[in-house]
Each structure stands twice: as structure tokens, then as C-alpha cells.
Amino acid sequence: MAFNEEYDIEQDFTDTTKPNYDMIHTRVGPQLAAWKELLSEDVEANAPVPSATTRTKRKADTSVDEANMRDMYNDGKTSKVHSHPSIVGAVDTEFGSSKLTVAQLKSFCRAKALSIAGVKADLLARVDEWLEQHG
């Protein structure tokens, strides 16, 4: 036994760490009943609470249709990528930089069954190539 103390098993054991729920209910019961009544009358308190799984942020619109993409291409707003080995990936300033996001370019490539692998310059090259072929 711990500390070599004598312990009488026959004696009643009372757990003093267990809360006395009867005493708590006696002291707080009337306040809880009044609070419950106030909550039942309050309209805002009865409103459903959104669960943690509900998304509160909306997703960005990544849809770009072919007509919009072709207009941008014709206006020079999609970037042409140089094919010269020394400046691969450089953007041609004649056409300006692209205002399209990678998500929009990938969305367009998926719709046209093009590969979505690579960086933005690769995606722009694929879109430009597809628009030239189907122009």
C-alpha cells in the first residue's frame, strides 16, 4: 500500500471529487428554468447555427468561355510565349501580360481536353496554340 498506511475496506468510501449534482440543481435550478424560458421566446436564439462544415467563403469564378478567351486573344490580352531557347518562358511585350489567372487557364484547358500541367506560361502557350488552330 502507498505510504504503508492502514486502510479499512469495511468502512464506507465517499468520493469527494464527484460533484454534488443535487446541491447544484437546488441552487441553480430556478435560474436555469428562467433562462430556458427567455431563450424559447427569443427569435434570434432559435435561429439555426451554421455547422463547421458549411463553407462561408465562396469560390472564385474560374469559368472562362471560348468567346471571352478568343476576344482576349484577338485583343492581345493573352500572352505569346517566345520559343527561342535562350528566352524560353519570356513574355512577349507586344501582346502585354495576361490578366487571366492560372485557375481560369486550367478551367479553359480542361474544357478543351488540353493538358493542365505546367506553369502559367505553358498554359498560355497551349491556349494560344488551340485558338490559332481553331480560329
Mean pLDDT score of the chain: 75
Local confidence band at 52 (pLDDT 50, 70, 90 cut-offs): low
Q: What are phi and psi of 45, to 5 degrees?
A: -70, -25
Q: How far apart are CA 80 and CA 91, in angstroms?
A: 6
Could you give the percent of the chain with pLDDT greater than 70?
69
pLDDT number for residue 82: 40
Instruction: Point out which residues pair with 81 in neighbouring strands.
Output: 91
Q: Please state the pTM of the whole predicted model.
A: 0.44
User: Residue 40 has what pLDDT?
Assistant: 85
List, in order, residues 6 or more apart from 90 with CB less than 8 Å away: 81, 82
Q: For 23-37, b where at least 16 C-beta lie within 10 A, e where not — what string?
A: eeeeeeeeeeeeeee
Predicted confidence band at 91 (pLDDT cuts at 50, 70, 90)?
very low
Please write the tens of the pLDDT for every residue from 94-133.
Answer: 334 567 888 888 888 988 899 999 998 898 889 888 888 8
Can you give the pLDDT at residue 95?
A: 38
Amino acid 30: pLDDT: 92
Query: For residue 22, is pLDDT > 70?
Result: yes
